[in-house]
Amino acid sequence: MKNHPIYDHPLFKIHTIQMRPSSFPKEWNNESLTTQNKSNMYSILVTKGRFHGAKATISLWKSYVQTLREFSLAQIWLASGTSRDTNTIEAGWQVYKSLYGDYNPRYFIYWTADGYQDTGCYNLKCPGFVHVSQDFAIGATVSPVSSVGGAQYQIPTSIWRDTRSGHWWLKVYDNIFVGYWPSSLFTTLKDVATDVHWGGEITNNRDGSQHTTTKMGSGHFAEVGYEKASYFKNIEIVDEGEIMKPPVGTSPFMSEENCYNIKPGTDVHWGTYFFFGGPGRNAKCK
């Protein structure tokens, strides 16, 4: 893989690519708030501490997006640092409106090492993330999608720090190791994450001085529940001892609950979970 685009980055001229992670959170048994832009709105679950990873099963929806300059997404954030030195790793699905009216969710990744200022990269548009899987394409459409009152589809996503190499790995579904973010990309996130967020985000450009009608998730508020609202379930963190477990001390955060909201809970089958979403502009959200 000497022609891999990672070698275009000056930090990785002598980097040796891993094809599989060399360590895992113990329960896997080797099995087969960040800086916020005022135009962005969130409904997320937040936990703080010291973490070596996070996971969740994320429901898939074909969200409506109002304009070409907006998006709707559901993802996991791992972050460390404050203000301009914020480091993040982000992964999940995103919907944006194409010129052809395409609203299909696409799997995306992102990272930054300076609070979204000069460093960072979306998907594989620049060197950084080392993509090793031939079974899963970053930026590709993920399907099938959930329907209101019908079948519900989801994508399990896990991010964790490989303790032997220091790299942050991404796994989807049961056993697809997509690739990793080399530890040398980061400063404050090199060894540990101090914040983990799960949830939804949209861009609100306020065209016509009105709140956007871009939907978060299914477009339904959290309280309508299963088969209508979007959800994250089986939410867990990986602690510094490489133990995977439910997070403690979580807090919901909503930019404007009349537009998009979140409702967390626990269940014997779903573990730690939450419903989230909303329609955007409505009688109480202007």
| Residues 24-52 pLDDT 10s | 565 544 333 333 445 899 999 999 999 99
Tell me the residue type at 220: H
pLDDT of residue 29: 41
pLDDT of residue 236: 98
Task: Share the mean pLDDT of the chain.
Answer: 91
Mean pLDDT of 119-139: 94
φ/ψ of residue 78, rounded to 5: -115, 130
- Catalytic member of 27, 31, 70, 201: 201
Mean pLDDT of 244-267: 97
Q: Where are the domains of the chain?
A: 40-277
Confidence of residue 193 (pLDDT cuts 50, 70, 90): very high
- Catalytic member of 90, 227, 240, 257: 90
How do residues 148-192 score in pLDDT, each as one tens digit? 999 999 999 999 999 999 999 999 999 999 999 999 999 999 999
Mean pLDDT of 222-231: 98
Contact indicator for 177, 148 with CB cutoff of 8 Å: no
Q: Which CATH architecture describes the domain 40-277?
A: Sandwich (2.60)
The 3-state DSSP composition of the chain as helix, strand, coil percent (nearest 5) reads 10, 40, 50
| % of residues, the chain, pLDDT over 70 | 90
Residue with tokens 């109002």: 66
Contact indicator for 45, 252 with CB cutoff of 8 Å: yes
pLDDT of residue 220: 98
Clarify whether 90 is annotated catalytic. Answer: yes
